Amino acid sequence: MQSRWLLSFALVGCFTLGWGAHVLTAQRRAHIKITRLYTGADGETHAEEIAEGKLTPDAARSGLEASDTIKVTGLQFAHTFPGWTRDWHTAERHQYIVNLSGRGEIELAGGRKIALVPGSIVLTEDSTGKGHISRTVGTEERVALNIQLADR
């Protein structure tokens, strides 16, 4: 009799813990991880991780979470070969760069390097100052999607 009671208690406990984890997970909303490049007061390009594009449930499409719509003005695919480097430059436009394949990096003043791997997203806003260096690293060609943003 005591073993039945312990088994029942254990099952109820497992169910309660499982349900609680499910509820906590359902309440937590995902964010898209983005590295933002911007010009600081010192004229240097800096980088910060931002969680732009908060995802919320889409009532019209069950099971889908989506960000708010972002106005864009253009879209461009970019391809570079291994060893490609673009020396110090600023962002020509306000854009998202989504690395699709291959690897790259962005180097900031002081030697800090930001890895670009498949799926990484960079928001370029460093249109003044010293800028940054962009390069393709490794032995693979790199393909990126550049999404030019409308003025905010």
Coil, strand or helix at 105 = strand
Report how many domains make up the chain: 2
Which pLDDT value is given to residue 63?
A: 84
Residues 69 and 20 in one domain: no
pLDDT tens digits for range 62-79: 888 888 889 999 999 999
pTM of the shown model: 0.76
pLDDT for residue 24 is more than 60: no
Q: Range of 125's domain?
A: 31-149
pLDDT, average across residues 108-121: 96
Residues 113 and 41 in one domain: yes
pLDDT for residue 14 is more than 50: no
pLDDT, average across residues 7-15: 42
